């Protein structure tokens, strides 16, 4: 598996970090996780044809994680020569079906005619195929936010989305080869509903994760020693995410 960080920032504009989005390549197939503003453009820069993305996984419904879903659909239904034919599968937390229906009620021209969209809501459970297992568990950021664990090719990848320190996230991250956790603020500015470097490191240490990637930075993080704060509680490899960074799982 290969991870491509599309956006390592948040909803606050930054000249160096885009809104949240990740691609995990499983057997060469791109799985998209979240789609903040600019995701479609960064897919192009990463060399990924958005028409080849068949699976999108959403952690929660906040706009900095979902706004480019509308752009994604627009590019597949109205652009001559770019309309897709394969079905699109969207996995999201509780309430995502209703969210999607309301999106189409606002923008009815986004409804596809040449393919179908299949939406599945998950909370705590597993999706299985012959090639991979995807597990979801709550992360505590909102009442319905979830993180994802992907087991494939003998490796384990975990992505928290926005999160707080909680037992379910530690369990989701157990023995991960590559654990991607949000790290919105430095320790000194801890905010409700988000992780700090120390809390992210605590999750990684308790889960026994091999490598930890920190992402979802608010601009203020650039003024603090984020990596050092995390290393104080976690002895494994700490990676500070950058847009378009590629990592083997």
Enumerate the active-site residues: 64
Contact between 214 and 224 under an 8 Å Cβ cutoff? The reply is no
Between CA 59 and CA 204, with CA 162 as vertex, the angle to 5 degrees is: 110
Q: Which residue has the tokens 């192009």?
A: 44
Task: Name residues whose C-beta falls within 8 Å of residue 101's C-beta, 6 or more positions apart in sequence.
Answer: none
Beta bridge pairs of residue 26: 29
Measured distance CA(148)–CA(177) in Å, rounded: 14
Q: Name the maximum alpha-carbon separation found in the chain.
A: 53
Q: Can you say how many angstroms the Cα of residue 169 is from the centroid of all Cα atoms in its chain?
A: 14
Show the tokens assigned to 231: 């290393």
């Amino acid at each position: 598996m290969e991870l491509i960080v599309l956006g390592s920032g948040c909803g606050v504009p930054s000249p160096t970090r885009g809104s949240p989005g990740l691609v995990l390549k499983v057997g060469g197939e791109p799985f998209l996780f979240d789609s903040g503003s600019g995701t479609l453009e960064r897919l192009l820069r990463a060399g990924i044809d958005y028409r080849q993305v068949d699976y999108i996984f959403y952690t929660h419904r906040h706009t900095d994680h979902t706004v480019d879903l509308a752009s994604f659909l627009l590019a597949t239904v109205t652009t001559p020569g770019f309309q897709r034919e394969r079905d699109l599968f969207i996995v999201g937390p509780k309430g995502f079906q209703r969210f999607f229906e309301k999106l189409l009620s606002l923008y009815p021209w986004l409804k596809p005619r040449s393919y179908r969209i299949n939406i599945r809501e998950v909370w705590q459970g597993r999706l299985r195929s012959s090639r991979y297992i995807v597990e979801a568990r709550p992360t505590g950021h909102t009442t319905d936010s979830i993180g994802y664990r992907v087991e494939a090719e003998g490796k384990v990848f975990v992505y928290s989305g926005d999160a707080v320190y909680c037992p379910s996230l530690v369990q989701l991250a157990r023995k991960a080869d590559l654990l991607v956790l949000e790290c919105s603020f430095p320790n000194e500015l801890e905010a409700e509903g988000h992780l700090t470097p120390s809390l992210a490191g605590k999750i990684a240490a308790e889960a026994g994760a091999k490598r930890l990637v920190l992402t979802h930075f608010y601009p203020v993080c650039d003024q603090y020693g984020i990596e050092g704060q995390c290393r104080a509680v976690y002895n494994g490899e700490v990676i500070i995410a950058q847009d378009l960074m590629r990592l083997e799982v």
